[in-house]
Amino acid sequence: MLKDTRKVIIKHIEIEDYEKNNNFEFYYTWRAQVDTFMTRKIRMENLEQDRKKYSEFLENPEEHVILGAFHNNRLIGLTALHIELTKERIAHIGHWGIMIHPDFHNNGLGTELLTQLEKEARNRGILKLEASYVSKNKAAEKLYLEKMNYIIEGRKILGIKLDDGTYDEIVLIGKILYNIEV
């Protein structure tokens, strides 16, 4: 239940979830609305190519965990965890990203999706999670640093060129999931 009382179901996404109700097209359309702070611009002409890429991710659940948030059977949020199992020296680290439909921002969905993703990571023995965000994205900063307790590990100066032609930093964040000796 979101703060505004709408009910959302969070579950592992399967290929059928993208196909049902044209969910991939729906997701792709709203993702283009929220890509301001993403490193890759969404272009509708890439829809079929990206559909294939997402399907390939789903075919490899050992390295890709994709959780979707559904409201009235529509995909309105997504978080994905990538684990580089073929690189054994960093296979203990998971990299994630998150996207939420603009009509569902500021309702607790980001916190819930990341909480569920962290549970998945722990269940898989992941010791550390890493992600990044654009420094001008204050909503991401609040969610990641204040609510989810990630820490800043570094910054990429001139890390992204925004649509208005200005540049911004990419903030690198991480979170240790288990207390271990270093």
Q: Return the DSSP state at 146.
A: I
**Nearest alpha-carbon partner for 20 in 101, 100, 74:** 74
Return per-residue pLDDT of the chain as tens, 182 residues: 999 999 999 999 999 998 888 899 999 999 988 888 888 888 889 999 999 998 999 999 999 999 999 999 999 999 999 999 999 999 999 999 999 999 999 999 999 999 999 999 999 999 999 999 999 999 999 999 999 999 999 999 999 999 999 999 999 999 999 877 76
What is the set of domains in the chain, with CATH numbers? 9-176 (3.40.630.30)
Calpha distance 104→110 (Å, rounded): 9
**Nearest alpha-carbon partner for 171 in 138, 132, 131:** 132
Query: Taking the complete model, does pTM exceed 0.85, yes or no?
Result: yes
The per-residue pLDDT for 34 is: 87
Query: Using one digit for the tens of pLDDT, what is the confidence trace for 38-50?
Result: 888 888 899 999 9
